Amino acid sequence: MHEIDLLTIVTESILKERLINDLKIAGVTGWTMTAAQGEGPRNRRVSEVEGGNIRVEILADPHTVERVWTMLKDSYFSNYAVTAWQSKVQVSRADRYLGNESHG
Amino acid sequence: MKTRISSLLGVGELNSTVQYDSNVDFGTSLSMATSNVLSVPVLVFLLGVISVRLKADLRLPDPVYQATAIYLLFAIGLKGGVALRASEPADVLLPIVVAIALGIVIPILVFVVLKWMTRLDGIDRGAMAAHYGSTSLVTFTAALVFLDSLDVNYEGFMPTLLTVLEIPGIIVGLLLAKKYASTRSQVEGANSRDSNSRDSISRDWIREVILGKSVLILFGGLAIGFLTGVQGYEQVEPFFGGLFTGVLALFLLEMGVLAGRRLSDIRTAGVGLIVFAVVFPVFAGTLGIISGYLAGLSMGGAMILGVLCASASYIAAPAAVRLALPTANPSITLTSSLGITFPFNLIVGIPIYYLVAQALENWFL
């Protein structure tokens, strides 16, 4: 087993396509998306009409995760309802998630 | 079943089958109009609003909500397509041109009027313009159900006008906001709240508006209805026609909950916005009715065009505005369009537009 970074992003479902696109630009090669419900400090969003929130989980190398954080800070945090957190998780087949660095 | 299909066939046979009495007195039409409040869809909507007050969550599960929205859009498109095929192109062309013109003029009016009435900045006024320039499928549908219940005929191709009016208003509203933002960022320097990454945003919103799910389903339904005609429609009529009002009622339960949640925000909206959300629809509705008559529509058709102009979008426009104008405050636009204008139109607006259309009928027809 190997230790690897797990980045979880919960945000407005309206941003689905844009977020996935930006993640790919940041070098993310895989993600898991589920529907999410919840409430945050903003508590008012159009997603109420458009299908709630999404929760996107990414396993990646530290550099890619760093690029995603930068992307979130630059284009998402100020205007949209976003919660994101990072944690260490144990995975087998770590090379599956630590894609080649030249991607970024 | 036959009567419903024949009522789709539009203006061609309208002249021979006018079923309402244009000489009914005001009191009679008023009582017909107030019966609107006692229709199942409207009462279900009120149930949704009350449920929020009672803290009971009657929201439909998300997939069900999505499915009913798809059903309504497709059913409306399909019926419209069948009727469009049966219409003379010459009868449809002028109303389409008029609808596009209204789709451009109304958001500009919203942008200007809100400057007088409120202290909203150009970004929020542009967002409001996008919402009020676009249309509400459910208000439109409720108006059709209202006219059907009174046996008033209308041109079957009206869903074509719904499709046509859906997009221009959103684009004009967003352009107004963008223009305001770029003017202001020139004045104030690069620190303006909408100056960052504007290029990357414009790419997404154009796609969102033009290829938005709701427009695609509505347009797809129109095309399929047009291609298959009455024969094709007969095969699916029990599902898309017979169940229609019932599904609409279910959808309105959801809308009632969403509108009910906005009610508490109305207090914070400010007098100007509240007055706007009630008065502007009546003004825009009257403008639509007059334009409808000038475009050669029947009384029912002119009233529906009025409803289209009076209604504000709360599905397509919020999505596009959220992507294109991230700094616009969704709480303002949704409180206004979903919390005030939508219930107003559904409960008292539709009868008002009917009475206005009736009152103006003698001037034009």
B70-241+258-364, CATH topology level: Na+/H+ antiporter like fold (1.20.1530)
- Report the alpha-carbon distance of residue A61 to residue A66 in Å, rounded: 9
Residue A7, strand partner residues = A58, A86
Is some CB atom of chain A closer than 8 A to the CB atom of B22? no
Contact B62 A48 (CB under 8 A): no
The pair of structure tokens assigned to B23 is 């000489």
**Nearest by CB: A46 against B66, B265, B318:** B318
Q: Is the pLDDT of residue B201 over 70?
A: no
Where do the structural domains in chain B lie, given as residue ranges?
70-241+258-364
Is some CB atom of chain A closer than 8 A to the CB atom of B186? no
Task: For the sheet with A32-36, list strands across it.
Answer: A32-36, A53-60, A2-12, A82-91
Mutate to test the interface with B, among A17, A46, A80 (most CBs of B within 10 A): A46
Question: Could you tell me whether strands A82-91 and A53-60 are parallel, antiparallel, or unpaired per DSSP bridges?
Answer: unpaired
Look at B123-127, B174-178, B321-325 and tell me which has the smallest mean pLDDT.
Answer: B321-325
Q: What is the mean pLDDT of residues B103-129?
A: 95
- DSSP alpha helix (H) spans, chain A: 16-25, 62-75
Cβ atoms within 10 Å of B257's Cβ, excluding its own: 22
Model pLDDT, residue B13: 40
Question: How far away is chain B from the Cα of A93, in angstroms, using its nearest Cα?
Answer: 35
Q: What domains sit in chain A, N to C, each tagged with a CATH number? A: 2-94 (3.30.70.120)
Model pLDDT, residue B264: 78
- DSSP alpha helix (H) spans, chain B: 2-7, 11-14, 26-34, 40-53, 62-86, 89-117, 122-133, 137-149, 158-166, 168-188, 198-210, 213-237, 244-269, 271-294, 299-310, 316-324, 330-334, 342-344, 350-364
Is some CB atom of chain A closer than 8 A to the CB atom of B137? no
Model pLDDT, residue B141: 92
Contact B330 A74 (CB under 8 A): no
- Report the alpha-carbon distance of residue A66 to residue A2 in Å, rounded: 19
Contact B315 A49 (CB under 8 A): yes
- Report the alpha-carbon distance of residue B347 to residue A17 in Å, rounded: 37
Residue A35: C-alpha distances to residues A30, A98, B353 (Å): 17, 26, 41
Contact A18 B338 (CB under 8 A): no
Model confidence band, residue B263 (pLDDT cutoffs 50, 70, 90): confident
Model confidence band, residue B16 (pLDDT cutoffs 50, 70, 90): very low
Segment of B22-26, B48-52, B102-106, B184-188 carrying the highest mean pLDDT:
B102-106
* Side chain identity, residue A61: D
Contact B261 A15 (CB under 8 A): no
- Report the alpha-carbon distance of residue B66 to residue B64 in Å, rounded: 5
In chain B, which residues have their Cβ closer than 8 Å to the Cβ of A14?
Answer: 319, 322-323
**What is the per-residue pLDDT across A14-44, written as a single tens digit (0 to 9) for each?**
888 889 999 999 999 999 999 888 877 765 5
Contact A74 B197 (CB under 8 A): yes
Model pLDDT, residue B303: 97
- Report the alpha-carbon distance of residue B26 to residue B36 in Å, rounded: 16
Q: Is the pLDDT of residue B108 over 60?
A: yes
Supply the ipTM of this predicted assembly. Answer: 0.76
- Which residues in B149-184 are b (16+ Cβ under 10 Å) and which e? ebebbbbbbbbbbbbbbbbbbbbbbbebbbebbeeb
Mutate to test the interface with A, among B209, B313, B322 (most CBs of A within 10 A): B322
**Nearest by CB: B62 against A46, A51, A74:** A51
Average pLDDT, chain A: 85
Q: In degrees rounded to 5, what are phi and psi of residue B358?
A: -65, -45
Cβ atoms within 10 Å of B89's Cβ, excluding its own: 8
Cα nearest neighbour of B265 on chain A: A44
Model pLDDT, residue B198: 45
Model pLDDT, residue A46: 56
Contact A14 B319 (CB under 8 A): yes
Residues 301-360 in B contacting A (C-alpha not used; CB under 8 Å): 314-315, 318-319, 321-323, 326-327, 330-331, 334, 338
Q: What is the mean pLDDT of residues A39-63?
A: 77
The pair of structure tokens assigned to B222 is 């129109």
Average pLDDT, chain B: 85
Contact A49 B204 (CB under 8 A): no
Q: What is the mean pLDDT of residues B50-66?
A: 86
Q: Is the pLDDT of residue A8 over 90?
A: yes
Q: Which residues of A touch B (CB under 8 A)?
A: 12, 14-15, 17-18, 35, 44-46, 48-52, 74-75, 79-80
In chain B, which residues have their Cβ closer than 8 Å to the Cβ of A17?
Answer: 204
Is some CB atom of chain A closer than 8 A to the CB atom of B204? yes
Contact A46 B323 (CB under 8 A): no
Q: Is the pLDDT of residue B203 over 80?
A: no
Question: How far away is chain B from the Cα of A44, in angstroms, using its nearest Cα?
Answer: 6
- CA count, 13 A, side-chain hemisphere, A99: 15
Helix axes B244-269, B62-86, angle to 10 degrees: 120
Contact A46 B338 (CB under 8 A): no
**What is the per-residue pLDDT across B210-262, written as a single tens digit (0 to 9) for each?**
667 777 888 899 999 999 999 999 999 999 999 998 999 999 998 898 888 88
Look at A98-102, B115-119, B149-153, B281-285 and tell me which has the smallest mean pLDDT.
Answer: A98-102
The pair of structure tokens assigned to B40 is 């199942």
Closest to B311 (Cα-Cα) out of B290, B338, B342:
B342
